């Protein structure tokens, strides 16, 4: 019961912040609402007993990515900070809303119609032990993930180099 209450609170926070995030006209506010969404999603991971995932979400997303956005907003223009009014045309809003509602109806219908999930859906309230996560992350057996781990390390390095090269000021 407590889980459901917590889930409802998190759902309200996430959805409300997400709606505010995509409808507000000011970019800085959008970034702030995105921070609330990210915290809410981290709370969902805690609710699912994936505490490591929640910590990673807070550290990487809420700590890192949001800072990148705030810096970019500060760098890109002073006007956006002081509330640049972004013009969103009415017809675009209507068509976007229609397409969104159509897709949402389809996806929710598919999610709610399939019943196979319920054969498995009993949820024990145990936390995944850190030892198991570590073993799976750097093990090389079946269901262990050392290869994507190494791959994502190289990928992050490549992205850092790419970001530096792209954003470097041209001297010529």
Question: Which single residue is written with the structure tokens 């907003």?
Answer: 73
List 123, 140, 141, 172, residue binding another protein (CB under 8 A) = 123
Within 58-117, the residues that bind another protein by CB under 8 A are 60-61, 64-65, 68-69, 71-73, 75-77, 80, 86-88, 92-93, 95-97, 99-101, 103-104, 107-108, 111-112, 117
- Work out how close the CB of 167 gets to another protein at its nearest, in angstroms, rounded to a whole number: 4
Q: Which residue has the tokens 């990487």?
A: 60
What is the spatial distance between Cα 152 and Cα 115, in angstroms, rounded to a whole number? 35
139 lines the binding site for another protein (CB under 8 A): no
Is residue 138 involved in binding another protein (CB under 8 A)? Answer: no
CB 172, min distance to another protein, A: 14
Q: How far is the CB of 115 from another protein (least distance, A)?
A: 11
Task: Rule CB under 8 A: choose which of 36, 51, 81, 145 binds another protein.
Answer: 145
**Cα(137)–Cα(4) distance, rounded to whole angstroms?**
31
Element (H, E) at 140: none
CB of 34 to another protein, least distance (A): 5
With a CB cutoff of 8 Å and minimum separation 6, the contacts of 81 are 27, 28, 73, 74
Query: Of 100 and 171, which CB lies nearer to another protein in the complex structure?
Result: 100
DSSP 127: P
Residue 158 CA to residue 143 CA, distance in Å, equals 26
Query: Which of 18, 36, 51, 81 lies at the binding interface for another protein (CB under 8 A)?
Result: 18
If binding is defined by CB under 8 A, does position 56 make contact with another protein? yes
Total residue count of the chain as it appears in this document:
172
Instruction: Check binding of 45 to another protein (CB under 8 A).
Output: yes
81 conformational bin, left if phi > 0, alpha if psi -120 to 50, beta if neither: alpha
């Amino acid at each position: 019961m407590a889980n459901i209450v917590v889930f409802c609170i998190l759902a309200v926070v996430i959805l409300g912040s997400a709606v505010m995030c995509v409808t507000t006209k000011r970019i800085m506010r959008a970034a702030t609402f995105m921070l609330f969404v990210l915290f809410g999603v981290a709370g969902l991971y805690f609710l699912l007993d994936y505490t490591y995932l929640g910590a990673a979400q807070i550290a990487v997303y809420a700590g890192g990515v949001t800072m990148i956005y705030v810096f970019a907003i500060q760098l890109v223009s002073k006007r956006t900070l002081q509330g640049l009014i972004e013009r969103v045309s009415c017809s675009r809003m209507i068509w976007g809303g229609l397409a969104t509602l159509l897709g949402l109806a389809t996806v929710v219908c598919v999610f709610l119609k399939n019943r196979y999930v319920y054969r498995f859906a009993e949820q024990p309230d145990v936390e995944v032990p850190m030892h198991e996560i570590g073993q799976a992350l750097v093990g090389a057996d079946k269901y262990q993930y050392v290869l994507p781990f190494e791959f994502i390390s190289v990928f992050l390095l490549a992205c850092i180099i790419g970001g530096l090269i792209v954003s470097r000021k041209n001297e010529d």
